[in-house]
Structure 1
Amino acid sequence: MGVRSHIAGPLAALALGLFFIAPAMGEPAALTKKQSDALSAYNASRSHFEQVLKQRRAQIHSNALPNLPGQALYLARNDMISAYKDLTDALPSRIGGPNKYGIPPAYFDAGNEPLLDEYKKLFDLMQAPPANAQKSDTPFKDVVDLGTAIARARGLDAANAEAAGRISLGLFFAETNGNQNIGNARSNKYKGSLQTGVPEDQSGRRKWSAIKNKIAALDPALSDRDDREEARAGNQDHRFNHWTAVRDGLMNAHADIFPQVPSIVKTLPDAIDQMKLFELIQIIPSPTKSALASRDLAGYRISDPKIMAYLRNNSMFTFGQADRARTSATFREILDAMWLFNEKFERALAKFEEIKAGSKS
């Protein structure tokens, strides 16, 4: 489902450059009240985001972070993106070129990339693993191996089990940006390599025990690795052993859906769409399962205000007045709205191809 310094000078200059709208950019010298209000709101939101970034940096240096330090930072980022979308709705000439994060240009000014760079660095620091975390030297391969083995145990053939392994790696990137054993700067409940709560982790452990004999028969080497990691984790929080955290997270939420991978791949042939659907199992499990059970996955519509709120809390339909005004969405529209996940899933796909190439060699 996230540092370093040296942003003050460049960002100050950037702020000055963004504050003024120059006629040379092709925009009218005189703005309407709506356009002027949108510009003022954007400038204010951008300034606030920069202030929160600087505040969190200073608090990290002084070891004085508040509880849930990432929440205000997350909301400030969202406010800036949201205000920029309102600005480009009011003043389409402000839509610029592409950015390295793959955010639609109507939502994000590429000149603000340094702010998001700092945002990610701060989250990396605020969510650093605890001192007793048990890391893996092969974290990405572990995720793929576990996802594939679980899928085989659930009856999938080799090709579809491989797709399940690829999807599992996407989940790891979506939840943690590919970082193992992390905390959570926005929640005191969800932790570890697949960002589970204690009940989810315990549920996954029970479900794993139920299929362990089948896993051992299919892949004795993986079963032996599991025995070693289980002994290593001992009585510690299993969410901070990378192997057991991924294993239990996949078993808790996704193993029951793996038998549907063949039909999901057929309905959603794009690998990133497949990853997005399984991420929705994390975010809105019951509606996603209902959509899968329907005859029209892409057209299945969500209208429950509570579910729409969950989506907005996870950066879908939350940017700009037009998006926030939506009262319903189809699953196709939800998948399309998950553009903040695209860059993570693209990295997951690239890493999967590396792992696949390595295994063949």
Structure 2
Amino acid sequence: MAATTEVTSRGEADQPGRLPRGGTAKSRGGALREGGAAWVLALPFCLLFLTFTVWPVIQSLFMSFTDTRARDLRTPFAVNIVGLDNFTKALSDPLFLKAAGNTAYFVLVGVPLTLTMALAAAVVLDRGITRFRAVFRLGFYLPVITSIVAVAVVWRFLLQQDNGLINTALGWVGINGPNWLGDSHWSMPALILMASWRNFGTAMIIFLAGLQAVPWMLHEAAAIDGAGTWKRFRHITLPMLRPTILFVSVTTGIGYLQFFEEPYVLTDGGPLSSTISMSMYTYKQFGFGNYGYAASLSYLIFVVIAVVTAIQFRLLREKG
């Protein structure tokens, strides 16, 4: 009988999901206290997150289906629900379509240019430069942490038509520099050049971390087999950098799809709306008091970002 009781008690204790009888109440009480303490510590963040993030998102989503204007803020429940009219209006708005085309131009040219500059700088700093490496890293990263206003002031002087440094340098080789910020054909390339110079430092730091994770013994083995520098870079470095390239491409693409600061501080969307972006056009609609329409534009930008990000994941993810 004693052996049977011992076997039964041991069998109950060994059953998954059940606690020994002697420690059940104490263990459950400790778990409840720990869970309660965790919720108490997390409660301030949860309240702030719900108040300043979740609720504004829900409210803006509702606003995108209404005709809310600035005059309706005092009577928010008196607005009319217009359904998808704001979205259909946006898709037929010539200026918004122009802004979407400008944004696509900025992303399709700016992202590859930024990533190429960042990867080239990372490769040089990883293997090519041994002395003063930290100084070069800081110098390349410095534009990222510099105020956009300060960067814009410097680039405005660089891009001046008559006595700007860029046109002066072009004149040394017999090229008559264009009116970078006053010509609708050259204004967007000028902004892309500035944005790439300002933002490639972040991608460079991430690429440096990825390059340092590539085993150098693979390069040595390939060199023994007769592979040159380009072949080693193409068949060893790039495949092993695929996750890093995916991450940098996605983050840079998301940032460039929302580009706003460059045209806002340099061109105000001109000349002839050649540099206005989707984010800037949305901002202007908020300024005009068209809150419902501006909210719908914001969600269209969100959808575009989600689609572009999904495409990048599909193209750049590692093949399983």
TM-score using structure 1 length? 0.26
Higher relative contact order (CA 8 A, sep 6+): 2
**Which is richer in helix?**
2
Q: Greater Rg, structure 1 or structure 2?
A: 2
